[in-house]
Structure 1
Amino acid sequence: MGRVTAYARQISWYWGSLMGDNHYRRYVEHRSRTHPGDPVMSERDYWRMRHDATERNPQTRCC
């Protein structure tokens, strides 16, 4: 059963990466590492900024 669980976790991680589930977490880690002490955008503001960027430059979208 351990191998099935490991595969399920890997698939879940891969699917989450494709769908962008971990983008905000990676952004927070990057900001805290490169700009310690600076404020970090809220998750809502982060996704709004990402959405606005694709509206201004549609070539950045995959679909």
Structure 2
Amino acid sequence: MTIKVVRGNPTPEELAAALAVVRARAAAASGTPSGAPREPDAWANPARLALSRLPAPGPAAWGRTYWPS
């Protein structure tokens, strides 16, 4: 990426700030995440449903469905 200053005489700090903004906008537009890859959310893991015990079959099984084990 090449940036050319057309007018003015920016200080190194001003140029660094402008470059940081341009890079952040370019990264947001391209969809590339910044930093390390994120770990998948535990709520999105379908295996978490299989880890819980199923209620014992019987006439009152529906009432035990939402009680913690």
Range of TM-score over shorter length:
0.3 to 0.5
- TM-score, with length taken from structure 2: 0.34
> Which structure is higher in helix share?
1
Which of 1 and 2 has higher RCO (CA within 8 Å, sep 6+)?
A: 1
- TM-score, with length taken from structure 1: 0.37
Task: Compare CA radii of gyration and give the structure with the larger one.
Answer: 2
